[in-house]
Structure 1
Amino acid sequence: MHRALRPLAAAAALALLGACATSAGPGAPLAAGAPAVPAAWQAPVPPAAAAAQAGPSSAWWASFRAPDLPGLIDAAQAASPTLAAAAARIERARATRTAAGAAQLPQVDAVGALQSGRSLPRQPSATSASLGLQAAWEIDLFGGVAAGRDSAQARLEAAQAGWHDARTAVAAEVASSYIAYRGCLAQAAQAALDATSREETSRLTGLSAQAGFAAPADAALARAGAAQARSTAVARRAQCETLLKSLVELTALSEAELRQRLADGPAAAATVPQPAALAVQLLPAELLRRRPDLAEAELAVLAAAADRRGAEARERPQLRLSGNLAAASLRSAGVSSSGSTWSFGPLQLSLPVFDGGSSAANSAAARAEFHAAVAAYQGQLRRAVREVEAALVALDASASRQRDAEAAARDFEAALQATQARQRSGLASLFDLEDARRLALQAQSALIDLQTERAAAWITLYRALGGDFNAEAKPAVAVSAAP
């Protein structure tokens, strides 16, 4: 189904729900129409996003300036069990669509028979043979067969949209894990520097206590601070190792190969990459064309509507036409004869009279499935709007916080430089220097946390906007023929 027509079809299906509600009996759920979406985003759109020209696409990952990230995403998508299962569902849906389309065509079978025997005592034996074709065709009076084809087509397109959704989810998950790993490495470097600074303070305090210039309690407190800093540094390194193993699971690369890739790339540096801004110029209603999960839910409504039409058609008369063409031969007592036979018909009309309520129950079940699909679509649309709004809120908040964090890190670094100059001139002690160093490290650590959070928020927005989903592009998937 052409993507531009799909919202109209979904709206027609929703209208049909209201129009046909009277036949569903008392208590049938009604839908007034498609769920309303806001005319514009309520959360502030970051200026960078408003000015950006590029929307979500697979090329966006290159804007992180992390050359190893696109390769990790490609590896994860190639090895993802979720994507493999989605590809298998596409093949299943394609086979179902082929079968549903075949139901609209005449069914032709080749038949052959060979018989030999004696029908009466003291009569010569006879041998007969025949070979022919039998054809049967269900005339689609009330559209039940066409409804089956429409349902199968909608489910095929839904499976394709599901594949795109899984692909986008895998890319976002790998990118999020990668950013978390890079942020962890940066924090681990800060934790190591903090531990070194506290150990130096502990050493100086111990010497001062031995000389009688500091209380033993101060020395004990400094030692405790150094021990705590070492513990934090170890915990950071363990967290980084855990994140690395998550990337191993996602990419299916060996740990040795992944470590080599990351060691040779920018991940070895203690920095958090920041992506280019994504364009958020589309309106909430345009999410209908951008998100594969919404396309999947929308197609599920269309499939359920077709299933309902098919179930209702099966409650009505069925018309079937058959015919055959055959060549036959008979041999008895040395005499042979042969010829051909054909028939056109019968034209058979069947009308359900009594089936214990089975047909009506099937129609009621199909209507209930349709109501459920409509409700799921409405919920998915609301969820999609909420996810974009939440991502925009997170980005807006992180933008102002980042300005403050950058200013704090810059000023604390300036204070550290000034303290170092004073210490070299004899105007500040080593204690003053280490205190200033730790304040600068804490400010830098807070900035790293915010950079990690902001990069993750951009990835969340990428996912919420539908990733690089193109409704007109069909997934190029191949399913193994192994049993």
Structure 2
Amino acid sequence: MLYSWRPCCFPRSDNLHSIRYIQRGKSGIVRTAKKTASRNVIGVGSVVACLFISGCTTLADLQKPDMKIANIWHATLPHDGRTGDLVSWWSDSFDPSLTALITAAQAKNPSLETAEAEIGKARATLASAQASLFPGLGGSGSLTHSGTGGDKANRVAVATTASGSLDASWEIDLFGKTRQKSEAARFRVHERVADWHDARVSLAAEVADYYVQYRACRQLERVYTAELASQSETIQAMETAETSGFTSSADLALGRAGVASSASTLTAQRAECEILVKSLARLTGGDEPHVRNLLVKGKSGIPTPKTLKLSAVPADALRQRPDINALELEIAASLAEVGAAKADLYPSLSLGGSVTINSSKLMGTSLPWSFGPALSIPLFDGGLRRAAVGSATAAYDAAVAAYKSGVLDAVAEVETALVRIDGTRRRIGDSTVAARSYRAYFNAVDSNWKAGGASLLDREDARRLAQLAEVSLIEVRRDSVRYWIALYKALGGGWNANVVSPKALQQKSKENLL
């Protein structure tokens, strides 16, 4: 069956969330086509099809992107793969300090301001494109005093001449060039809004990731601090025993080397924690005292997410990503530009008219006027218009390729995050047993050393193994939460297309007042 497509109920708001189209067959039967999870091709086909606007321009030679998406995840699903919508899960799962940091970042981070500025720029481009659909009217006026001086025979009295004119012009959009340029600009507005949502998701995930790293960093700092304090007490006891001849100078030197090494490790760890504080301050607007105050008030442990509900269908997950939505819209905008370039190959018709009023003491009053159509036919331009079509088509092909790459990357990100979450979940149990066992082993060796049954070297080896096991457990727990954050971001970060930017809210408020 052959199909023709036309857009139906296209949303005019900046928050493009769903698009519906009407599909018409040769028999004239009309039915609504919606994007569903069971389809192998995600909604780009519908978005592309809507650009086949009525007119003489044909785009049949352009192929729609054909992306086959699996209907299951190939990695192990957390929480048994329960389905549901994503929400801002750190608000319930993490401590209030993290929520406050993310809120501050959303309000003050320059990257979101840049994204909002891009939305404003796209809106201005749309307004410019839409203005071409309407007639233009301009006016001019002049007032002139003139005369001639000199001899009485040549002298002419001062005269006043006044004139005013109105000029109107309108290019009739016969083949849809202006309409399709306007549609391309409209898609780009929605695309910039999707980019803004994507920036919000990325920023929230980055703040959460740094926060988790900071909490783990402080836990490691406490481990190194406690170990250094224990070693310092041991050295004091060894120094007392060394003066009495119960401890050799070699053991004392070994003990002091261990203390110096632990102190160096602790210093490096504290520096890493400070760097993370600086990173959080940069993301949240640069108010470092405020960031430090929030970190002090927060929970000391590594935050653990409770339940993140995961959609079991990859196609559903991709529809939750604003960056994939932006790639779809770029395809639609590029296709509209191809249509506009092809429409430029055909003649253009415009209407023009003018009215002029001239008033002068010498010549009296006159009212010339003119009105009529003008037809412009492209005969020979050296291939300029054909080159424009080729450039627009290449841009469309690039947009399709970018979309395919984005879809593959999105699926890979989710699958990778799922594998890592499953791996760290399994490792946490083993790491916990290892840390507990190595600590028990050290306690036994330490008691034996104090009783004189083990050397200091054996004790240092046992201490090092116990410390490494505890550090490994903290790092595994940290990485586990970081992978949850990566999964949250890969699934779209709870993107809500109904959320609008602060500047958009201000603009709507002004419009309501007017």
TM-score band by shorter chain is 0.7 to 0.9
| Contact in 1 for aligned 2:51/2:332 (Cα 8 Å) | no
- Could you tell me which of 182, 185, 189 is aligned with 1:152? 185
Displacement after TM superposition at 1:325 (Å): 4.2
Distance of 1:428 and 1:459 partners within structure 2:
49
**Do residues 463 (structure 1) and 489 (structure 2) align?**
yes
Do 2:164 and 2:358's aligned partners in 1 also have CA atoms closer than 8 Å? no
Distance 1:51 1:405, change over 3 A: farther
Using a 3 Å threshold, how does the CA distance of structure 1 residues 215 and 124 change in structure 2: closer, same or farther?
A: closer
Seen in structure 2, the aligned counterparts of structure 1 residues 11 and 148 have a Cα distance that, compared at 3 Å, is closer
Give SS of 1:324's match. strand
Matched residue type, 2:315: A
**Segment drifting more, 254-263 vs 221-230:** 254-263
3-state SS of 1:323 partner: strand
TM-score normalised according to structure 1 size? 0.84
Using the aligned pairs only, state the percent identity: 37
2:201 is matched with 168
Structure 2 equivalent of residue 241 of structure 1: 274
Question: 1:201-243 CA distances to partner (integer Å, 9 max, x unpaired)?
Answer: 4444555566555554333322222221111111111111111
Larger RCO (CA within 8 A; separation ≥ 6) = 1
Matched, 1:135 2:172: no
**1:321 matched to 2:351:** yes
Among 263, 288, 296, the residue aligned to 1:263: 296
State whether structure 2 residue 326 is matched by structure 1 residue 296: yes
1:102-144 deviations in Å (ceiling 9; x for gaps)? 111111112334466699x999987553434322111111110
- TM-score normalized with structure 2 length: 0.79
2:212 equivalent to 1:179: yes
Instruction: Tell me the distance in 1 between the aligned counterparts of 2:63 and 2:244.
Output: 84
Hey, what's the Cα distance between the residues in 2 that align with 1:276 and 1:330? 83
Alignment match, 2:30: none
Greater shift in the superposed pair: 430-439 or 256-265? 430-439
Provide the rounded CA distance (Å) in 2 between the counterparts of 1:4 and 1:250.
Answer: 32
- The alignment partner of 1:4 has SS state of coil
Task: Identify if the C-alpha distance between structure 1 residues 99 and 247 changes in structure 2 by more than 3 Å, giving closer, same or farther.
Answer: same
* 2:46 corresponds to 1:9: yes
1:176 aligned counterpart, secondary structure: helix
Cα deviation 1:146-181 (Å, max 9, x = unaligned): 011011101111111111111111111111111111
Correspondence 1:300-379 to 2 at 5 A: 300-326=330-356, 328-332=357-361, 336-337=364-365, 342-343=369-370, 345-379=371-405
Aligned to 2:472: 446
1:168-207 mapped onto 2 (5 Å cutoff): 168-205=201-238
Conserved? CA contact 2:171–2:349, under 8 Å: yes
Match of 1:284 in 2: 314
Q: What whole-Å deviation, never above 9, does each CA across 1:19-59 have from its counterpart, x for those lacking one?
A: 9586xxxxxxx7563322222111111126x2475x4333x
- The CA distance in 2 between the partners of 1:279 and 1:332, in whole Å, is 85
Residues 399-456 of structure 1 show CA distances to partners (whole Å, capped at 9, x for unaligned) of 1011222333445566778899x89x98999979998776554433222111111111
Query: Measured at CA, do residues 62 and 68 of structure 1 come closer, stay the same or move farther in structure 2, by a change above 3 Å?
Result: same
User: Given that residues 9 and 302 in structure 1 are in contact (C-alpha distance below 8 angstroms), is that contact kept between their aligned partners in structure 2?
Assistant: no
Match of 2:512 in 1: none
Residue in 2 that maps onto 1:43: 75
Structure 1 or 2: larger helix share? 1
Gaps of 5+ in 2: 1-9, 12-16, 20-42, 149-153, 508-514
In structure 1, the residue corresponding to 2:351 is in which secondary structure?
A: strand
1:81 lines up with 2:110 in the alignment = yes
Q: Which amino acid aligns with 2:111?
A: T
Q: How far apart, in 1, do the equivalents of 2:252 and 2:369 lie?
A: 110
SS in 2 for 1:252: coil
Give the number of equivalent residue pairs.
459
Contact 2:51 2:336 in 1 (8 A): no
SS at match of 2:310: coil
Are residues 178 and 118 of structure 1, via their aligned partners in 2, closer, same or farther at CA, if it must alter by over 3 Å? Answer: same
For residue 349 of structure 1, give the secondary structure of its aligned residue in structure 2: strand
Distance 1:435 1:235, change over 3 A: same
Change (3 A) 1:243 1:157: same
